[in-house]
Chain A
Amino acid sequence: MTSASFEEKSTWVQLVGMVLGLGAYFVVAGRMLASGVRAMPAFAAVFMVAVAAMVVFLIIAYALVSLMGKQEPPDERDRLIVWRSEYNSGWVVAAGVLGAVTCMVLNVENVWTANLLLLSLALSEVLGCVLRIAHYRRGV
């Protein structure tokens, strides 16, 4: 990782932060759904705690990455990698929205629809990070 650019290290930080923070949320949310909890405020509280913990982690990790190496602005290769990764990961959100619309048509409880949307957003972001790292490692 010492040879990685600042942007690549930042992507790793973002990936780890999201997997830990949002992963923890979905583990807890899954257990709540399994135990019959359906109140949206309960899920919102868990989500806010998970996001707050993720933000704290990201701030500390970004600060450490900045201290460890030279901070450089993104260049054309970084921008191309971000563009390609987002282009190839956006379908996950689209699939989630389609699933949420289907849930609404089928009168599925709102808590499932909301969590499905959150899950698709989280998976899209994680896939985007994985694709960015793959482009950095294997080439564009």
Chain B
Amino acid sequence: MAIEKIVMRNTIRTLRFNAGEMTQQDLADRVGVSRQTINAIEASKYFPSLEVAFRIARVFGKPIEDVFECECRKK
């Protein structure tokens, strides 16, 4: 059974809100990317590398699967 499409979602916006309204710029500075990249990740316009994904999860003290979730739609 082949995978047809992978849809990635994330909870970064919620996690930032729960972390005292952390700004995108604050998160970007801690992860080491630009604010626009964090914005693109939140909007699912860009899927980060594993390295950046782990860095984001580490900032919030969460396992990566609590930050990023993947929905694999099968044929």
A residues contacting B by CB (< 8 A) are 3-8, 72, 75-78, 136, 138-140
Q: How many residues of B contact A (CB 8 A)?
A: 17
Q: How far is the CB of B71 from chain A (nearest CB, A)?
A: 18
A139 touches B36 (CB 8 A): no
Task: List residues of chain A with CB within 8 A of the CB of B37.
Answer: 5, 75-78
Task: List residues of chain A with CB within 8 A of the CB of B34.
Answer: 5-7, 72, 75, 77-78
Task: List residues of chain B with CB within 8 A of the CB of A138.
Answer: 45
A18 CA to B49 CA, complexed, in Å: 32
Q: Is B22 among interface residues, defined by CB-CB distance under 8 A?
A: no
A77 CA to B33 CA, complexed, in Å: 8
A40 CA to B27 CA, complexed, in Å: 55
Q: Which residue of B lies closest to A140 (CB)?
A: B46
Task: List residues of chain A with CB within 8 A of the CB of B33.
Answer: 75-77
7 A-B pairs with the lowest CB-CB distances in the bound complex, closest first: A139-B45, A5-B36, A75-B33, A77-B37, A140-B46, A5-B34, A72-B34
B36 touches A4 (CB 8 A): yes
